[in-house]
């Protein structure tokens, strides 16, 4: 294998270990990429079919005008909070254990924002007229209506996508420079361009650190606002069950909950695939587990407050929804969801030994994510299925087109991640080195 | 925003209103059929109807009261309530759902991109979506109304109070150099109701039948507590 100017074996072990994932993948890797690409194609085919024939390919019908696509949008925006929360909040609080996790999480952020945006397009009745949402000068002087929460949402998601791309990119510059110097071949000019002439001078380090210091608090604020606004899409409506003031903070915490679960899955897979046991250590899983317990409890508290208020108030419009969830049409998904996102995490993650078991942490991460997906569906569908005029009550389950598009989008997320891992050092090398230095100084 | 839009509903030249007398409604659905014919509403067919996707701008809601064998069916025609403070309007990101100077809730088909927020936010479930391209079995396409747009796949639609008839009535009055008289304008549903349960007119004309009837002691608005200020007044059944 031809490398850059310095021989592979001459490099310090940390560079070798952390640049190794960038080398071309084996047969298993190619097979995985092909498999994922096949599922993505199936999803794309389903979408084309839906555009050709109509949104009627979904199982939507009045009064349920939103469901699987919007629930998926909310879910993926939620997953995107993994990166910003883990990396932003932990960077702000100077938590040392964040170092090997940040990049893994930040990559998830970018990819899931992209996937979330796709769902908006799947959802639109006339997706080919999407540009009506952009305020562009036109002959008829019609602008988008910024009174609509959907416009706030579009603005917020665009801001979030831009900000988190910058936030991912800044700490990557020194690592791209390292890759430029150490990895040859066709990728070299790309790394050279992306590293913006980084030489590692004192001045450059100072500029980088200042930039990261400025953007970190900003990105945390953007993160909170984004999911609040996604919550407002529902909260601002008159729909019973949506129209509640707790929905914004509830969405933010729910997002972080699924995000942390996704980070646990990512950590486990990256660690196992690239044998990074000495970088992603058991203490990282332990800390992550504790954070997940805190999120589970916060989310459960919000959920309980909301449902208790509804139950005690006994307003018929709201009670119809609560009944359908607790013992009616939606009871099975409801109780599955409660088990997956509250009960299982609390039972397992409060045991210290469990938090030191990477596989177990991954499984809990999976449970939380499946549960949160169901939860997003349950936020949307039961309230819409029970409008105030009970003549219109209805029911819903996704169609095969909806399910295929959802599966294809999930595969696209994994595919983008699998491809990105081959291009971006998945653990921030310079931050890891800085951590080693700090560790040595403090002992 | 035009000058008319800034005026209160009472200060505008017209305030189109409807009264629905529940005591007279027999649930015959003549209004539903008339509306289909007048407004080029697509024929959905049995399967789509079973999926809950049959488009109706006006529907007869049927509620059962009492236990078998002592049951009573109660009928309530529901259509777009043409709210003065319509929840469907501010949530539309592209102004497809907007308030006309005469206080109607209009839907601009060309502007609609189908986010369907208006459908969720309408507490009356009055708004309908075109799940597929429209289709009429021959020879039904021959009876399409040339004054009404045929709506394509992917957009929202709903009752317009037969805005094409309102416009016609106003133009006729203008040609004849006189104000619009009460009874000049009748939406298709009102025209076809065999029991005259539906009455339409200008609420700003104090002598009009609709203005008189809406003052009835039996009058109420649907889901009044939501503060949507509907233009439709229901009159309670007498046997209650």
What are the pLDDT digits (tens) for A342-401? 999 999 999 999 999 999 999 999 999 999 999 999 999 999 999 999 999 999 999 999
Q: Which domain range does residue B156 map to?
A: 3-235
In whole angstroms, give the CA distance from residue B86 to residue B118. Answer: 10
Would you call A62 and B129 a contact, using CB atoms and an 8 Å cutoff? yes
Does the pLDDT of residue A30 top 60, yes or no? Answer: yes
Contacts of A318 in chain B (CB under 8 A): none
- B121 domain residue, yes or no: yes
Share of chain A above pLDDT 90, in %: 65
- B97 domain residue, yes or no: yes
Does the pLDDT of residue B146 top 70, yes or no? Answer: yes
> Which region among A158-167, A275-284, B220-229 has the lowest average model confidence (pLDDT)?
A275-284
In whole angstroms, give the CA distance from residue B62 to residue B75. Answer: 5
In whole angstroms, give the CA distance from residue B32 to residue B13. Answer: 29
The chain A residue lying nearest B117, using CA atoms, is A65
**Which CATH fold topology does A60-171+214-397+422-442 show?**
Formate dehydrogenase/DMSO reductase fold (1.20.1630)
Please give the average per-residue pLDDT across A165-187, as a whole number: 86
Phi-psi region of B65 (alpha: psi -120 to 50; beta: other; left: phi over 0): beta
pLDDT at B151: 94
H helices within B94-199, ranges in order? 117-121, 163-175, 188-192
Pairing of strands B16-21, B232-235: parallel
In whole angstroms, give the CA distance from residue A387 to residue B52. Answer: 15
pLDDT at A6: 60
Please answer whether residues A270 and A365 qualify as being in contact, where contact means their C-beta atoms are separated by less than 8 angstroms: no
What does the longest C-alpha to C-alpha distance in chain A come to?
76
- Please report, for the domain that includes residue B77, its CATH number: 3.30.70.20
Structure confidence at residue A277 as a pLDDT band (50, 70, 90): confident
HSE value, Cβ hemisphere, 13 Å, CA-based, for B240: 9
- B191 domain residue, yes or no: yes
pLDDT at B9: 74
Is A52 near chain B, with CB under 8 Å?
Answer: no
The chain B residue lying nearest A380, using CA atoms, is B120
In whole angstroms, give the CA distance from residue B99 to residue B85. Answer: 9
Would you call B94 and A144 a contact, using CB atoms and an 8 Å cutoff? yes
In whole angstroms, give the CA distance from residue A32 to residue A237. Answer: 43
- CA-wise closest residue to B130 among A126, A429, A356: A126
Question: Could you read off the pLDDT of A38-47 as tens digits, one per residue?
Answer: 999 999 999 9
**CB proximity list for A182: less than 8 A, separation 6 or greater:** A3, A4, A5, A6, A8, A11, A15, A19
- B74 domain residue, yes or no: yes
The pTM for the full model equals: 0.93
Does the pLDDT of residue A178 top 90, yes or no? Answer: no
- B240 domain residue, yes or no: no
Would you call B53 and A387 a contact, using CB atoms and an 8 Å cutoff? no
- B33 domain residue, yes or no: yes
Place of tokens 């291009």: A423
pLDDT at A440: 60
Question: Could you read off the pLDDT of A314-330 as tens digits, one per residue?
Answer: 999 999 999 999 999 99
- B144 domain residue, yes or no: yes
Would you call B116 and A66 a contact, using CB atoms and an 8 Å cutoff? yes
Would you call A55 and B114 a contact, using CB atoms and an 8 Å cutoff? yes
What domain count does chain B have?
1
Name B20's bridge partners. B198, B234
Of A62, A124, A392, the CB nearest to B115: A124
Q: What is the mean pLDDT of chain A?
A: 90
DSSP, res B194: T
Contacts of B92 in chain A (CB under 8 A): 145, 148
pLDDT at A441: 53
pLDDT at B152: 92
Of B132, B223, B226, the CB nearest to A56: B132
Please answer whether residues A232 and A248 qualify as being in contact, where contact means their C-beta atoms are separated by less than 8 angstroms: yes
In whole angstroms, give the CA distance from residue B67 to residue B79. Answer: 28
Does the pLDDT of residue A205 top 60, yes or no? Answer: yes
**Token pair of A150, please?**
């959907």
């Amino acid at each position: 294998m031809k490398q850059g100017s310095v021989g592979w074996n001459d490099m310090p072990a940390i560079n070798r270990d952390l640049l190794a994932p960038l080398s071309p993948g084996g047969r298993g890797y190619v097979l995985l990429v092909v498999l994922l690409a096949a599922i993505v194609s199936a999803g794309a085919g389903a979408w084309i079919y839906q555009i050709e024939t109509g949104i009627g390919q979904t199982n939507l019908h009045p009064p349920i005008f939103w469901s699987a696509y919007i629930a998926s949008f909310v879910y993926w925006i939620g997953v995107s909070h993994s990166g910003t929360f883990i990396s932003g909040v932990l960077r702000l609080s100077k938590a040392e254990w964040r170092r090997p996790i940040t990049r893994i999480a930040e990559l998830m952020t970018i990819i899931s924002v992209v996937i979330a945006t796709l769902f908006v397009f799947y959802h639109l009745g006339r997706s080919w007229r999407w540009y009506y949402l952009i305020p562009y000068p036109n002959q008829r002087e019609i602008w988008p209506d910024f009174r609509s929460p959907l416009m706030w949402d579009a603005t917020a998601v665009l801001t979030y996508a831009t900000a988190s791309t910058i936030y991912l990119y800044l700490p990557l510059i020194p690592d791209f420079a390292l890759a430029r110097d150490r990895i040859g071949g066709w990728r070299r000019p790309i790394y050279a361009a992306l590293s913006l002439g980084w030489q590692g001078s004192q001045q450059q380090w100072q500029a980088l650190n200042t930039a990261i210091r400025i953007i970190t608090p900003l990105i945390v604020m953007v993160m909170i606002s984004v999911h609040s606004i996604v919550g407002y899409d529902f909260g601002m409506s008159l729909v019973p069950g949506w129209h509640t003031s707790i929905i914004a903070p509830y969405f933010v915490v729910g997002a972080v909950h699924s995000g942390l679960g996704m980070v646990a899955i990512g950590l486990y897979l990256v660690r196992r695939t690239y044998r990074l046991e000495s970088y992603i250590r058991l203490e990282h899983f332990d800390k992550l587990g504790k954070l997940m317990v805190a999120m589970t409890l916060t989310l459960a508290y919000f959920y309980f407050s909301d449902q208790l208020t509804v139950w005690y108030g006994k307003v018929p419009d709201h009670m119809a929804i609560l009944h359908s969830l607790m013992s009616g049409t939606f009871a099975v998904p409801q109780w599955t969801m409660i088990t997956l996102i509250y009960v299982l995490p609390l039972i397992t993650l409060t045991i210290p030994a469990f938090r030191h078991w990477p596989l177990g942490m991954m499984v809990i991460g999976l449970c939380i994510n499946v549960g949160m997906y169901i939860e997003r569906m349950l936020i949307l569908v039961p309230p819409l299925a029970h409008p105030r005029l009970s003549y219109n009550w209805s029911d819903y389950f996704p169609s095969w087109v909806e399910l295929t598009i959802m599966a294809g989008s999930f595969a696209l997320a994994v595919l983008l991640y699998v491809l990105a891992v081959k291009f971006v050092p998945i653990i921030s090398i310079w931050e890891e080195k800085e951590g080693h230095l700090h560790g040595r100084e403090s002992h | 925003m035009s000058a008319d839009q800034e005026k209160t509903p009472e200060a505008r030249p017209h305030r189109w209103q409807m009264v629905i007398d529940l005591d007279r409604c027999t649930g015959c659905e003549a209004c539903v059929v008339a509306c289909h014919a007048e407004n080029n509403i697509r024929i959905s067919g049995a399967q789509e109807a079973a999926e809950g996707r049959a488009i109706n701008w006006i529907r007869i809601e049927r509620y059962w009261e009492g236990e078998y064998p002592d049951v009573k069916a109660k009928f309530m025609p529901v259509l777009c309530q043409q709210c003065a403070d319509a929840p469907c309007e501010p949530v539309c990101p592209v102004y497809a759902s907007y308030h006309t100077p005469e206080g109607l809730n209009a839907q601009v088909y060309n502007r609609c991109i189908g986010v369907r927020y208006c459908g969720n936010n309408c507490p009356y479930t009055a708004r309908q979506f075109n799940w597929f391209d429209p289709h009429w079995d021959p020879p039904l396409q021959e009876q399409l109304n040339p004054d009404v747009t045929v709506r394509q796949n992917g957009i929202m639609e709903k009752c317009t109070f037969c805005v094409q008839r309102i416009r016609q009535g106003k133009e006729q009055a203008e040609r004849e150099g006189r104000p619009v008289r009460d009874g000049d304008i009748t939406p298709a549903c009102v025209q076809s109701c065999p029991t005259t349960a539906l009455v339409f007119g200008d609420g700003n004309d104090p002598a009009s039948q609709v203005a008189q009837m809406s003052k009835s002691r039996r009058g109420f608005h649907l889901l009044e507590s939501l503060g949507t200020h509907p233009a439709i007044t229901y009159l309670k059944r007498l046997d209650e």
